[in-house]
DNA sequence: TATTGTTATACTCTATAACTATA
DNA sequence: TATAGTTATAGAGTATAACAATA
């Protein structure tokens, strides 16, 4: 038979706890960004060479196109992105970073990297590399292309610490 | 300087992707449970020797006490838990598993374990142990006792795949 | 007066539908 | 007729506030 289930084998709890720790650090970094973590993702997506349309960005982030409208409204208000008419299709808008948006994005990425280091602090350098490598292999092998913004509601309750049984 | 940031070092993305994969499998398991993942957590908490009050359970899971009322309503409707008067305090209710609740919980735990194996499938047994061990160490070292049900909204948008920069 | 649990209300976030303008 | 984007509306989920019973 298998090992009896306990804390050591409770992947869901450990994964959730580490994820939560990371998210708390990331949330602190992304606190002032319009739209929060999603706003940051929009900035990242907008930083590519080929500016995408609103619809393309929405599909890439897995959010509704109406949500993308609100997100871009807030980002545009703070002059972090611009809506530019698509010369080939006057219905579509191409989303580009402003100079301020680019600066802000670089700063956010630097601080997010620091947040990662904070999460990994209990491990020594070799162990960090091992963990990054294993997670990366799992992520690339199991990523089924599902949109990233559709499972939030199920995540929270998975992560309570294990309790003793009767 | 440090290694240039790329996919290999993007902890947030890898962590989120693996988490998402696990949650999709877990969601399938917990689909029919009243309250979903949170209902499962209530069942787990209720399975301890010392039945807790509704307030204690709510605090343990990090949800509002009013949400706990709704959760318990649904679980009680399906006869998975019982509200029993606390002999020492007639205001409080002690939450206990029914026989059916205990049976259901055992079944859920067995299937969640299978879901874990599904997530870890790309790794060989030694690597799985390594990953479990590293995650467990991080989880126990970084767990700050923050309630587990308060970060759901921030999780989703962190996990879009990395994109190329301009 | 404070606390447990319930109920009623309001708020936030997201999705659905309708609308404009283009194609 | 179909599509990109916007706006208006409605829905789910959660929190806030008021309430009853008890301490």
Please say if the pLDDT value at position A92 is more than 90.
yes
When pLDDT is cut at 50, 70 and 90, the band that residue A86 belongs to is very high
SS3 for B84?
strand
The 3-class secondary structure across B97-160, one letter per residue, is ECHHHHHHHHHHHHHHHHHHHHHHCCCCHHHHHHHHHHHHHHHHHHCCCCCCCCCHHHHHHHHC
The DSSP 8-state label assigned to residue B6 in this structure reads: -
Contact yes or no for B156 and A156 at CB 8 A? no
Nucleotides of C under 7 A from a protein CB: 3-8, 13-17, 21-23
Q: What is the rounded average pLDDT of the residues A67-83?
A: 96
Q: What is the distance between the alpha carbons of residues B63 and B112, in angstroms, rounded to a whole number?
A: 22
When pLDDT is cut at 50, 70 and 90, the band that residue B16 belongs to is confident
B117 strand C contact, CB < 7 Å:
no
A135 strand D contact, CB < 7 Å:
no
Please say if the pLDDT value at position B152 is more than 60.
no
Q: What is the rounded average pLDDT of the residues A26-31?
A: 88
Taking the CA of residue A77 and the C1' sugar atom of nucleotide D7, their distance in angstroms comes to 18
Residue nearest to nucleotide C14 (CA to C1'): A67
Scan residues 20-79 of chain A and list those with Cβ within 7 Å of strand D: 53-56, 65-66, 68-70, 72-73
Q: Are B122 and A141 in contact (CB under 8 A)?
A: yes
SS3 for B35?
coil
For a pLDDT cut of 90, what percent of chain A falls above it?
Answer: 57
Contact yes or no for B143 and A17 at CB 8 A? yes
Q: At what angle do helices A36-46 and A54-61 cross, to 10 degrees?
A: 120
Residues of B in contact with A117 (CB under 8 A): none
Residues of A in contact with B99 (CB under 8 A): none
Q: Give the rounded distance of the alpha carbon of B96 from its chain centre.
A: 19
* Closest residue, chain B, to A37 (C-alpha): B157
DSSP A141-155: HH-----TTS-HHHH
Which pLDDT score is estimated for B43?
96
When pLDDT is cut at 50, 70 and 90, the band that residue A23 belongs to is confident
Q: What is the rounded average pLDDT of the residues B79-85?
A: 96
Single out the residue of B24, B163, B115, B122 nearest to residue A142, CA to CA.
Answer: B122
A86 to chain B, closest Cα gap in Å: 19
When pLDDT is cut at 50, 70 and 90, the band that residue B64 belongs to is very high
Q: What is the rounded average pLDDT of the residues A76-81?
A: 96
Residues 6+ apart with CB under 8 A from A127: B134
DSSP chain A: -PPPPSGGG-HHHHHHHHHHHHHHHHHHHTTTSTTHHHHHHHHHHHTSSSPPBHHHHHHHHT--HHHHHHHHHHHHHTTSEEEEEETTEEEEEEEEE-HHHHHHHHHHHHHHHHHHHHHHTTS-HHHHHHHHHHHHHHHHHH-----TTS-HHHHGGGGSPP----
Q: Are A110 and A130 in contact (CB under 8 A)?
A: no
Taking the CA of residue A92 and the C1' sugar atom of nucleotide D3, their distance in angstroms comes to 9
Q: Give the rounded distance of the alpha carbon of A88 from its chain centre.
A: 31
The helix (run of H) or strand (run of E) holding residue B94 is strand B89-97
Determine which of A88-102, A130-144, A146-160 has the lowest per-residue pLDDT on average. A146-160
A156 strand D contact, CB < 7 Å:
yes
B3 token code pair: 């290694």
A142 token code pair: 């199991």
Domains in chain A, CATH or no CATH each? 7-142 (1.10.10.10)
Which pLDDT score is estimated for A142?
59
Taking the CA of residue A124 and the C1' sugar atom of nucleotide C13, their distance in angstroms comes to 40
Which pLDDT score is estimated for A25?
87
CB neighbours (10 Å) of residue A129? 15
With 0-12 / 13-18 / 19 or more C-beta atoms within 10 angstroms meaning exposed / middle / buried, residue A157 is buried
Please tell me which residue, A17 or A73, carries the higher pLDDT value.
A73
A90 to chain B, closest Cα gap in Å: 24
């Amino acid at each position: 038979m298998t090992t009896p289930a306990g804390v050591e084998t409770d992947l869901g709890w450990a994964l959730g706890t580490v994820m939560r720790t990371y998210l708390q650090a990331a949330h602190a970094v992304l606190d002032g960004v319009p739209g929060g973590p999603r706003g940051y993702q929009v900035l990242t997506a907008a930083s590519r060479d080929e500016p995408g349309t609103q619809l393309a960005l929405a599909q890439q982030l897995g959010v509704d196109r109406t949500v993308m409208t609100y997100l871009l409204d807030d980002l545009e208000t703070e002059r972090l992105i611009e809506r530019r008419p698509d010369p080939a299709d006057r219905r579509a808008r191409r989303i580009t970073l402003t100079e301020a948006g680019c600066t802000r994005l670089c700063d956010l990425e630097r601080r997010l990297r620091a947040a990662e280091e904070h999460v990994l602090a209990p491990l020594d350098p070799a162990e960090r590399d091992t963990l990054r490598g294993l997670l990366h292999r799992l992520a690339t092998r199991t990523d089924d292309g599902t949109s990233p913004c559709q499972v939030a509601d199920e995540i929270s309750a998975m992560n309570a610490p294990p309790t003793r049984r009767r």
